[in-house]
Amino acid sequence: MQLPLDMSALEVRISYRFRDPALLRTALTHSSFANEQMGGRAGCNERLEFLGDSVLSLTVCNFLYRTYPELPEGRLTVLRKNVVCQRALADYAMQIGLGNYLLLGRGEAKDGREKPKLLEDAFEALLGALYLDSGDLSVVEHFLLPFVRAELAKIEQNLAPFEDYKTLLQQYVQQTPGEELCYETVSEQGPDNAKVFTVRVRINSNDFGEGKGSSKKEAEQNAAREALGRYLPR
């Protein structure tokens, strides 16, 4: 298969035909291609990515605000982070085969079509192009929200049967660079043969849950389970 594929095939996959095909081409043009073929970064997708990032945030925030009227700001923020993180956006891009349509320089073309960072940026650029071409956020919503709904469904499915709550909580926390997760033993009560441990879980120095158990391990699992109930919707 010769790459990149024709842009018109991508329009079929996203169910949208661009009035200005040049916008779509720009969204698919990586800086490495612009540098090699166009003599500079002008014409690459970085400006569209900048716009698409804001379009993405507004669309997702609006959807979450209306879908979860009972959730406080903190939990809505966490949800947003999980559905717009690099892993999620790269997955959305892979679902439409976006990497196969990208214009890449010779070096990036070797393995760049599957790089999460590159796919994330291209997906955001595509959102920016959709918005500029249509002038209508509802067009972006029609394209984007099925991915968001499916990602939220996966989050809820993962929570139900999961027993290793510490691992699951760690996975979600790690999706946001810089966030720190730790467990603190609050108390040990009772005789040695029947101790009850109380453990607190903290994310970025904020208390997110507390659990009790006959061992520190059990108490940590219970604390993580409570934190997940606050960290994600149920």
Alpha carbons 172 and 143: distance in angstroms, whole number? 25
156 an active-site residue? no
188 an active-site residue? no
Burial of 13 (0-12, 13-18, 19+ CB in 10 A): middle
Sign, Cα dihedral of 181, 184, 161, 61: negative
Alpha carbons 221 and 36: distance in angstroms, whole number? 52
3-state secondary structure of 140: helix
Order across the sheet with 181-189: list the strands.
181-189, 196-203, 206-213
Alpha carbons 88 and 92: distance in angstroms, whole number? 6
Cβ atoms within 10 Å of 173's Cβ, excluding its own: 19
Choosing from 53, 91, 120, 121, which is the catalytic residue? 53
The first and second tokens of residue 82, run together, are 């999980």
Choosing from 124, 133, 151, 226, which is the catalytic residue? 124
Question: Which residues are catalytically annotated?
Answer: 53, 124
